[in-house]
């Protein structure tokens, strides 16, 4: 998931993945600006979506996005960091919140609902 060409092309990097399910991804948006000089909304969304994708696929079942939305708080212009955390989970779905920061300042809040597609991940054999 980290080597998907779109993610590579955007320069999104995974900074950390913790055992408790928190994922941090970063991207420099200084070359992905909108007409007003802020980070392009599509780029900010893609960064948050990547963090959501990684976080929602840490479990035993593969997940795909069922619903995703974002609220833009203020423009970001430098290296943005997306922090994804699971907020809820059922047998078939999960809910994640991703906060996007620019130098510690909140620039966007993304919410994604994952749908478990029923495919199990292979387990490592010994």
45: CATH: 3.10.129.10
- Give tens-digit pLDDT for 25-50: 999 999 999 999 999 999 999 999 99
Question: Total structural domains in the chain?
Answer: 1
| 109 in any annotated domain | yes
Kindly state whether residue 9 falls inside one of the protein's structural domains. Answer: yes
Question: pTM, whole model, 2 decimals?
Answer: 0.92
Residue 1: what pLDDT? 78
Binning pLDDT at 50, 70 and 90, where does residue 78 land? very high
Strand order in the sheet with 105-120: 13-17, 23-28, 79-89, 93-102, 105-120, 61-72
Measure Cα distances from 69 to 33, 59, 60, 111, 115 in Å.
20, 22, 25, 5, 15
Report yes or no on 124 lying in a domain.
no
Q: What's the pLDDT score for residue 126?
A: 46
pLDDT tops 90 at residue 64: yes
pLDDT of 122 strictly over 70: no
Q: What is the mean pLDDT of the chain?
A: 94
- Domain with 27, as residue range(s), is 5-119
Residue 125 is assigned to a structural domain of this protein: no
Asked if residue 126 is part of any domain, the answer here is no
Is the confidence at residue 119, as pLDDT, over 80?
Answer: no
* Farthest-apart Cα atoms in the chain, separation: 55
């Amino acid at each position: 998931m980290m080597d998907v060409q779109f993610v590579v092309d955007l320069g999104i990097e995974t900074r950390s993945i913790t055992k408790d399910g928190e994922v941090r991804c970063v991207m420099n948006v200084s070359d992905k600006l909108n007409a007003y000089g802020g980070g392009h909304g599509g780029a900010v969304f893609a960064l948050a979506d990547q963090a959501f994708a990684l976080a929602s696929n840490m479990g035993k079942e593969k997940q795909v996005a069922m619903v995703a939305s974002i609220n833009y708080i203020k423009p970001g212009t430098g290296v943005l960091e997306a922090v994804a955390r699971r907020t809820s989970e059922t047998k078939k779905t999960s809910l994640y919140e991703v906060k996007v920061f620019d130098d510690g300042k909140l620039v966007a809040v993304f919410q994604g609902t994952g749908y478990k597609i029923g495919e199990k991940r292979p387990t490592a054999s010994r």
